[in-house]
Structure 1
Amino acid sequence: MPWNKGKLTGHKPPLKPREIWVIRTRLQMSSNIRELAMFNLAIDSKLRACDLTRLLVQDVCQGSHGGSRAMVMQQKTQRPVQFEITEQARLILEAWIKARRLKSADYLFPSRMHASPHISTRQYARMVHRWISSIGLDDTAFGTHTMHRTKTSLICRRTKNLRAVQLLLGHTRLESTVRYLGIEVDDALEMAEQTEV
């Protein structure tokens, strides 16, 4: 039996601003600090699941305060990527770190299982599916890559600057960014011409 029989494959769509707001509000109302911190950081960082789950406290904090920027080495590409952490995300991260009494060298999202020091990408994927289904969307159409694509898609839509998105994603080739965002070639050429003018 093929692994993808009956499953939706291909690019996972990014979240829309209203969907982000609804998920964030639901997590705040349920007082789920860990998942709210993870959701906010996933949106801000644009990191793949494998990089997000392995973040250390020291990656996002200087001392006891959350940093406004962070830089991590991507596991897949072995290239550094920098990202901004919004104030909203910083505040909840600080609350999470304080609530768990995490130290600088600790994993930011430790596993509750003794076999693993940090949550697995599978655990993270289950959280993402829960967040998506909690707002009435079909969770099979979304995944962890949704979180990875959301902010860059919003930035691209707002600024039409493919070069900026390419830098944010750490892509070496603009073609990779175009393919990643699911933009038609004609639209990409038009965007590129607008930013060069």
Structure 2
Amino acid sequence: MPRVQLPVVTPKRRAWNKGRIIGQKRPLLPKQVWALRARLELAGNLRDLAIFNVAIDSKLRGCDLVRLSVTDLVKDDCVRERVSVIQGKTKRPVQFELTKNTRDTVSAWVRSPEMIGCPFMFPSRFHDRPHISTRQYGRLVRDWVISIGLEPSGYGTHSLRRTKAAEIYRKTGNLRAVQLLLGHTKVDSTVRYLGVELEDALSISEQIDI
């Protein structure tokens, strides 16, 4: 009998997002911010508290947050109230404010023994890296949200970037202000980032009672 040549079957690669929840990560609610902040304070974890507070105030992408230098935030032994940095993605400057609570945390952190001689705000504990990586930062955020009982698949480093921006928009409705604070070049990007169209539609719907 002639041999039948079967077609070669190429095994399918597992999809990178199989079993994962993808899409935009949720911002933290104010009560969740304070719960997480309180846990870090009680644990005496000064480094993580500084990272968390700066992340919330700065609204920076993770890649820009981990690269912050001490001189970006501190001048003449005083923590700056307003900071300007160049974004790695857009190469454009973005400004942000540091609240008093964050300034106090940063001041205590840069004066700690762990920070002696460190040029970066958040140095890595691995000798071959000058500062923490975005992957390390992501693991920290995962541990933080788990510690207050949140589902980690719904949150990530962008949750911290979005948290204050989402709250500002909720209270003011000022898209232009949020665009400037996030460092977006186009307001359309801010609209998509905040999911404004959906939020507005739901708000309008909630006010109609039939």
**TM norm structure 2:** 0.86
Closer, same or farther in 2 for the Cα pair 1:41/1:101, shift >3 Å? same
Alpha-carbon distance between aligned partners in 2 of 1:25 and 1:137, rounded to the nearest angstrom: 15
1:163 corresponds in structure 2 to: 176
Closer, same or farther in 2 for the Cα pair 1:102/1:4, shift >3 Å? same
1:98 corresponds in structure 2 to: 111
Alpha-carbon distance between aligned partners in 2 of 1:20 and 1:102, rounded to the nearest angstrom: 29
Alpha carbons 1:57, 1:102 under 8 Å: kept: no
1:150 corresponds in structure 2 to: 163
Alpha-carbon distance between aligned partners in 2 of 1:168 and 1:50, rounded to the nearest angstrom: 16
The correspondence for 2:77, drawn from 64, 67, 82, is 64
1:128 corresponds in structure 2 to: 141
| Alignment RMSD | 1.8
User: Sequence identity, in percent?
Assistant: 53
Amino acid at match of 2:84: M
Deviation at 1:185, TM superposition (A): 6.8
Instruction: Say whether residues 1:118 and 2:131 are aligned partners.
Output: yes
Amino acid at match of 2:194: L
The correspondence for 1:27, drawn from 33, 40, 45, is 40
**TM norm structure 1:** 0.92
Stretches of structure 2 lacking an aligned partner (at least 5 in a row):
1-13, 204-210
The correspondence for 1:4, drawn from 3, 10, 17, is 17
Alpha-carbon distance between aligned partners in 2 of 1:16 and 1:187, rounded to the nearest angstrom: 18
**Residues 144-192 of structure 1, C-alpha deviations (whole Å, 9 max, x = no match):** 010111110000001111111111112121111100101117939x9xx
3-state SS of 1:81 partner = strand
3-state SS of 1:184 partner = helix
Stretches of structure 1 lacking an aligned partner (at least 5 in a row):
191-197
Alpha carbons 1:178, 1:185 under 8 Å: kept: no
3-state SS of 1:107 partner = coil
1:195 corresponds in structure 2 to: none
